[in-house]
Homo-oligomer: A and B are copies of this chain.
Amino acid sequence: MIKTPYLLFLGDAPDQLAAKVAQGIKDWRPENAVGQYRMEGCKADMGLPDMDLAAAKAAGAKTLVIGVANRGGVISQAWKKVLIMALEEGFDLASGLHNLLRDEPDLVAVAEACGRALHDVRVPEVKYPIANGVKRSGKRCLAVGTDCSVGKMYTAMAMDAEMKERGMKSTFRATGQTGILITGDGVPLDAVVADFMAGSIEWLTPDNEPDHWDLIEGQGSLFHVSYSGVTMALVHGGQPDALILCHEPTRDHMRGLPDYQLPTLEVLRDTALPLAQVANADCKVVGISVNTQHMGEDEAKAYLAEVEARMGLPAVDPFRHGAGRLVDALATA
């Protein structure tokens, strides 16, 4: 568990996109973000108060979160200076960078001397069990995609937010680095050892109240040959009661795989549902989430209407039009 709230470190981000993690925290857990720390030359701006370490401390921040991708896989000396000062001021550090905080001897030494924690969310810190498949109480919803990066995390986040607004019981369950930094907790599934993947998801989504929903962040795709095993562990370890199909209609091949076409939503449904029913015979496909960011408003609406008629399920872009109808579908499921 990463201590909240955060000071978001934007460093010397060359543009807004480089600060994707900070953006996610700002969008989905604004209550976790007391301010932003920008260095000279920073081109990103979350619209949060700019704070130095002392101001952030006074505002209650507990952890400095590296909300920006670094260049060249090296934690620069300019960053280091800030990170070390932050440890000395009493902040923990959290990072999803590929190069780990714990591999930097100077950071480790200062963290130890000051009694502060270094959280590398790419590395599992729990000894997960082997999955046992025992039926758990409570409800679970999993987003599955025709491809990677089609909006599965966004869909689960948006549904969780809508459910909370309605007073329903729900928890977003992060399975990737960004999700973990946003919420402060979760399983970095792509870094878990093969035998423990499904068990890590059982661990993440334990018994709960009968009317509580876990919104599980999806990973990869059953049709993406690089990562399909990770997706499969979510389908079986997550024991979902409900599946949301996620799609990005303008993509002309699978992400990173130029020779592979995306499956249709029908093929995704007919593949994912029987597999999910191995772990939960009552599982249903309840809705469709379409990422229409590359479509105009009219085109998006026409596409969603066509998909909805064809599949007989609510089809929405939760970013564009809200997740309300997906939550309606869950509530009636």
Which chain A residues have a beta carbon within 8 Å of chain B's beta carbons?
Answer: 130-135, 189-195, 197-199, 222-223, 225-233, 235-237, 256-257, 259-260, 263, 271, 274-275, 278-279
11 contacts between A and B (CB under 8 A): A130-B226, A132-B226, A133-B225, A133-B259, A190-B193, A195-B230, A198-B226, A199-B226, A228-B278, A229-B232, A271-B275
Q: Using CB atoms, name the residue of chain B closest to A129.
A: B226
Q: Using CB atoms, name the residue of chain B closest to A190.
A: B195
B194 touches A225 (CB 8 A): no
Contact with A131, one of B225, B233, B237, B279 (Cβ below 8 angstroms): B225
Provide the residues of chain B in CB contact with A259, threshold 8 Å.
133-135
Q: Using CB atoms, name the residue of chain B closest to A237.
A: B225
Q: Using CB atoms, name the residue of chain B closest to A195.
A: B190
A223 touches B271 (CB 8 A): no
How far apart sit A195 and B274, CA to CA, in the bound complex (Å)? 24
Provide the residues of chain B in CB contact with A191, threshold 8 Å.
193-195
Give the shortest distance, in Å, between A261 (CB) and chain B (any CB): 10
The 9 closest A-B pairs by CB, nearest first: A229-B233, A225-B236, A232-B232, A229-B229, A190-B195, A131-B226, A229-B232, A133-B225, A133-B257
- With A222-B275, A279-B225 as given contacts, are A233 and B194 in contact (CB-CB < 8 Å)? yes
Of A190, A263, A278, the most chain B CB neighbours within 10 A belong to A278
How far apart sit A119 and B83, CA to CA, in the bound complex (Å)? 40
Tell me whether chain A's interface is mostly helix, strand or loop, or mixed: helix
- With A271-B275, A279-B225 as given contacts, are A133 and B260 in contact (CB-CB < 8 Å)? yes
Contact with A232, one of B189, B228, B278 (Cβ below 8 angstroms): B228
Provide the residues of chain B in CB contact with A135, threshold 8 Å.
259
A189 touches B198 (CB 8 A): no
How far apart sit A322 and B191, CA to CA, in the bound complex (Å)? 41
Provide the residues of chain B in CB contact with A130, threshold 8 Å.
226
B133 touches A230 (CB 8 A): no
How far apart sit A225 and B192, CA to CA, in the bound complex (Å)? 16
Give the shortest distance, in Å, between A130 (CB) and chain B (any CB): 5
Provide the residues of chain B in CB contact with A131, threshold 8 Å.
225-226
Provide the residues of chain B in CB contact with A132, threshold 8 Å.
226, 256-257
Give the shortest distance, in Å, between A44 (CB) and chain B (any CB): 27
Give the shortest distance, in Å, between A114 (CB) and chain B (any CB): 31
How far apart sit A257 and B263, CA to CA, in the bound complex (Å)? 32
How far apart sit A27 and B236, CA to CA, in the bound complex (Å)? 36
Of A133, A235, A260, the most chain B CB neighbours within 10 A belong to A133
Provide the residues of chain B in CB contact with A230, threshold 8 Å.
194-195, 197, 229
Provide the residues of chain B in CB contact with A190, threshold 8 Å.
193-195
Give the shortest distance, in Å, between A21 (CB) and chain B (any CB): 19
Provide the residues of chain B in CB contact with A257, threshold 8 Å.
132-133
How far apart sit A131 and B133, CA to CA, in the bound complex (Å)? 28
How far apart sit A260 and B133, CA to CA, in the bound complex (Å)? 8
Of A191, A228, A231, the most chain B CB neighbours within 10 A belong to A228
Give the shortest distance, in Å, between A122 (CB) and chain B (any CB): 10
Provide the residues of chain B in CB contact with A278, threshold 8 Å.
223, 225, 228, 260, 263
